[in-house]
Structure 1
Amino acid sequence: MAQMSAGGVGERIVIAPDTFKGSVSAREVAAALAAGLREQGSGDVIEQVPMADGGEGTLDAVAEGGAAGDWTIEVLEVTGPDGRPVGARLGTRPGDAGPVALVELAEASGLGDMDPCADPLRATSRGTGELLRAALDRGAREVVLALGGSACTDAGAGMLSALGARLLDRAGRRIPDGAAGLAGLAAADLSGLDPRLGRVRLVIAADVDSPLIGPRGAAEVFGPQKGLDERQVRQAAAALRSAVPILAEAAYRRGGAAASERVVAAADQPGAGAAGGVGFAALGLLRAARRPGVEVVMDLVGLEATIASADLVITGEGSLDTQSLAGKVPVGVAACASRHGVPVIAVCGRNSLDRDQWAAAGLEQVWALRDLAADERESMTQARDLLHTVGSRLAIDPAGRRRRADRPAR
């Protein structure tokens, strides 16, 4: 659960940051800021709610903070992105309509588990499908699939195979995993898809709005980050493109024209290109709904209720930039706080937004560690100490923190 500390009479402060990637985790960010605030003996009540944007770190966020119920975290052995087994976490908790499960794709199909020597064209989402099947085995009635940090560019083929689909080449054999195997897809049989999927509400949490194919598609935009060279990007893009009509035809045989049209439409939907096309498979074939990742995580950790009674919110992420404005954690948290008239301060590793930009996003102040450090390297390696310093300065100068409009001075 979220951690709280209290002294005398003071303000109620909620610290809800994302991870500073490559430097410190969201939990460590919150703890360092809280330590700096407490050091001055301000008497503030501090609640730490580590956050994530629906990609990597989502399981950490729900396990470590929030008021939306306790989660059970299991570690299961599944197929990793390069075919080797990996240990992947699955989160479950009770829900009003039955168990809720949280599957973080990066746990099973993440770039961090990919052998550097492995062929990125063969990276698979199979392990993610195995985690989904495990969630069904545990009776889940709602599954949140957090997309982000993937190694695969397989249009969710591995995931679908793990859930019972048969993806076949021209000889009627199952295709190999990855985009390389998807290039040989000639037919698909969806009749074996786990029937329990039809009784589950599936939500994909993604901050990526790319479609499956095209100049902004999964292969073109994210392939190079996964190790694909220019030739491999073209190969992967061609495989994704050719898979759509084949899967649409299979959907027609299973569910008629409406099912087929859903697959075709899904390829162009925002989020279809998330996780190398896993978003497409979930939207088009598993009837998933897409929500912005930060909104999903806020619901999972109960952040809205926590912020509603706060006097101040401190949020942040490693880099505050134009991508942040598209719905990353600081902007999502600021939007939530604005609904309750609570001022928000952002702390980041570096800031490339001007004052007008971050003010329009609902932020009262921005503190960048880079401004306190000798160079960018120091801002990353000494991030804990610098965050502690920021917390201490905020405690010393409470006049710089605008009080929420409906609260009198205390």
Structure 2
Amino acid sequence: MKKIVIAPDSFKGTMTSIEICSYIEDAVKKYLPDAQVVKIPIADGGEGTVDAYLSGIGGMRRRKTVTGPMGAPVEAEYGILPDGETAVIEMAAASGLPLVEKEKSPMNATTFGTGELIANAVENGCTKIILGIGGSATNDGGIGALTALGVRFLDETGREVTPDGKGLARIASIDAAGLPERIRRVKLTIACDVKNPLAGKNGAAHVFGPQKGATPEMVEALDAGLLHYNSILTKLTGIDRKDESGMGAAGGLGLSLKTFLDARMEPGIDLILDTAAFDEKLEGADLVITGEGKIDGQSKQGKVPVGVAWRARKKKVPVIALVGDVGAGYEDLYEEGITAIFSTNKAAVPYEQARKTSVEDLKFLTESLLRAYCAVR
């Protein structure tokens, strides 16, 4: 009997990882009816992280109305794992880019809602939090989240600054006395695959600001604001973190959470693979099918297909990646353990057109792949 492990990421904006698992399973069962299929929906800290955890090990969902990135209320969801003590939160649910598609403005965007989700999880008895910080719309250095948790950021007159990107440059002092002890004691793990430093040409504002709506002038202002905020924190703690790996993720949110909550940053793909007992489920597998919306040379930094391939390579299991788009540098991924890469796009068309037929295209590709597999076998 053949054993096939299906472990894809979502195709952002078109299909969730759970849906993709089902589509691929249907094709496998059609052509290999006796095969053992193991479905492991995956996420790397961005969209789909909560679904991946709950699908992998179970748990319950919680909903909370929180402050969205531009201040309007949004309905956000997070998960509590079966131990009743661990919450899985997606920053994108409260402070994500899809929530501001029509009004992108990182100068005014806030992570306040993310802080509200953390507070709500603690109120519900959670002492451990896994926070996925992919897909943010913000560049506030995390002061929004900390404000929601009780920290006060004050200007030279003693007034609280706005907890957003433009407020960073006005911070003169910080009052953390209002941060509850139960929040301080939380074991917070940040699922993050971004290694960019806080500021500079490779930092949060320069690299990620434009996709969040920042103009060149805004990029410079946000970059200066993050450096100013870091200088305040350095004076407060004696630790300068501006050059630490990952501090530029999610508009600098990690800087605040690491400073005030002693958060630990770990690769998101490793966290979910370990939690889902991926290595155990890989035992005896003949093939792994993974995938994501776009694959390119940057996928080596810990994106789902490569993270899956690293594990599979150790057990000498071939890995096929089904993806929406193939970008520059994909050849390097063969050395990371991916055996072959196939694109679902049957024609070179713009994303907005391709997304309309993404489900049909994935099914077509999977069936074509399995027909070839059965013929060769």
Compared CA separation, residues 105 and 33, structure 1 to 2 (3 A): same
- How is 1:8-407 mapped onto 2 (pairs within 5 angstroms)? 10-63=1-54, 65-66=55-56, 69-95=57-83, 99-114=85-100, 116-117=102-103, 119-250=105-236, 260-262=237-239, 264=240, 266-352=241-327, 356-370=331-345, 372-373=346-347, 375=349, 379-398=354-373
| Cα contact 1:33–1:390 (8 A) shared by 2 | no
> Is the contact between residue 91 and residue 132 of structure 2 (CA under 8 Å) also seen in structure 1?
yes
Structure with higher Rg: it is 1
Deviation at 1:311, TM superposition (A): 2.2
Letter in 1 for 2:59: W
One-letter code of the match for 1:151? A
Give the partner amino acid of 1:84. Answer: A
Change (3 A) 1:130 1:355: closer
Return the alpha-carbon distance in structure 2 between the equivalents of residues 354 and 164 of structure 1: 45
Q: 1:196: Cα distance to partner?
A: 1.6
* TM-score, normalised via structure 2 length: 0.93
* Structure 1, gaps ≥5 residues long: 1-9, 251-259, 403-410
Measure how far apart 1:197 and its partner are.
3.1
Query: In structure 2, do the counterparts of structure 1 residues 334 and 401 end up closer, same or farther at CA, with 3 Å as the change threshold?
Result: farther
Question: Deviation at 1:41?
Answer: 4.5
Q: How far does residue 375 in structure 1 lie from its aligned partner after superposition?
A: 3.9
Residues 298-321 of structure 1 deviation map (CA, whole Å, 9 limit, x = unaligned)? 123332222234221100111110
Q: C-alpha displacement at 1:379, in angstroms?
A: 4.5
- SS of 1:298's equivalent? helix
Give the Cα–Cα distance (whole angstroms) in 1 for the partners of residues 32 and 23 of structure 2: 15
Out of 300-309 and 119-128, give the one that drifted further: 300-309
> What is the deviation of 1:79?
0.9
Report the CA distance between 1:48 and its aligned residue.
Answer: 2.0
Question: CA–CA distance in 2 between the matches of 1:326 and 1:13?
Answer: 25
Amino acid paired to 1:220:
H
Q: Which amino acid aligns with 1:166?
A: R
Matches of 1:135 and 1:355, distance apart in 2: 40
Q: CA deviation at 1:391?
A: 2.4
CA distance 1:176–1:115, shift in 2 (3 Å): farther
> 1:268 offset after TM fit, Å?
1.6
Separation in 2 of the partners of 1:46 and 1:290?
Answer: 32
1:120 aligned counterpart, secondary structure: coil
Partner AA of 1:92 in structure 2: I
Once residues 235 and 356 of structure 1 are traced to their aligned partners in structure 2, the CA distance between those partners, rounded to angstroms, is 38
Amino acid at match of 1:217: G
User: 1:406 is matched with which residue?
Assistant: none
2:61–2:77: 8 Å Cα contact kept in structure 1? Answer: yes
Deviations 1:255-298 (A, max 9, x none): xxxxx134x1x322111111101011122222111111111121
CA-based RMSD of the aligned residues comes to 2.1
Q: Using the aligned pairs only, state the percent identity.
A: 39
> CA 1:400/1:348 → structure 2, altered by over 3 Å: closer, same or farther?
farther
Distance 1:99 1:170, change over 3 A: same
1:145 and 1:205 in contact (8 A); partners too: yes
Distance 1:395 1:315 in 2: 14
Tell me how far apart the structure 2 counterparts of residues 118 and 333 of structure 1 sit (CA, whole Å): 33
Structure 1 pair 226/355, CA: closer, same or farther in 2 (3 Å)? Answer: closer
Shift of 1:357: 2.0
Q: Secondary structure at the match of 2:285?
A: coil
Please say if residues 147 and 163 of structure 2, whose CA atoms lie closer than 8 Å, have aligned partners that are also in contact: no
Q: 1:40, CA displacement in angstroms?
A: 2.2
Q: CA deviation at 1:248?
A: 3.0
Conserved 8 A contact 1:32-1:385 = no
Contact 1:155–1:280 (CA<8 Å) still a contact in 2? yes
